[in-house]
Amino acid sequence: MSKRFIVSAESTPKLPRHAKLRFDKARDKWIILAPERVFELDHVAYEVISRCDGGRSVEQVIDSLCEKFDQVGREVIMTDVTNMLQDLADKGFVVT
């Protein structure tokens, strides 16, 4: 990491090399593994993170979430996703 990643609609977030997304059988949830840290994902966080493959932009991630959760307003989803990704980026769990 050499400079802070600021999440925008065009950025294409993904997990950094040192972080791994996997399903944890023993605890029955999705987790991100990173050095000295385990980030347990709730249902919503998993839906977001699993779409961040480095190819899709934040905009496209939001589109896809809007399709799946069509009862929730786009504004709400956009705010939630951006905040969550920025928070994860600052903790080193998401890069561009």
Partner 1 sequence: MSDVIEQGTKASATVPVADRVVPYALLAELTHRCPLQCPYCSNPLELERSSNEIQTEDWLRVIDQAAEMGILHIHFSGGEPTVRKDLEVLVEHAGRVGLYSNLITSAVLLTRDRLERLRDMGLDHVQVSFQGTTPDIADRVAGFAGHKKKLQAARWVRELDMPLTVNAVMHRQNLHQLPDMIDMAVALDAERLEVAQVQYYGWALRNRAAFLPTREQLDEATGQVEEARSQHKGVLVIDYVVPDYYARRPKSCMGGWGRQFLNITPSGKVLPCHAAESIAGLQFDSVKDKPLAWIWEESASFNLYRGTGWMPEPCRSCDRREIDWGGCRCQAFALTGDAANTDPACELSPHRDVLEMPLKESNAAAPDFIYRRIGA
Contacts with partner 1, residue ranges (CB under 8 A): 1-6, 16-18, 20, 22, 24-28, 31, 33-42, 44-45, 89-92
* Least distance CB 50 / partner 1 (angstroms): 13
Q: Which is nearer to partner 1, 36 or 70 (CB)?
A: 36
The answer to whether 55 and 12 have CB atoms below 8 angstroms apart is yes
Q: Which is nearer to partner 1, 17 or 70 (CB)?
A: 17
Q: Which is nearer to partner 1, 10 or 90 (CB)?
A: 90
Calpha distance 66→72 (Å, rounded): 7
For the chain, the first-to-last Cα distance in angstroms comes to: 10
* Least distance CB 27 / partner 1 (angstroms): 5
Buried b (16+ CB within 10 A) or exposed e, 4-30: ebebeeebbbbbbeebebeeeeeeeeb
* Least distance CB 53 / partner 1 (angstroms): 19
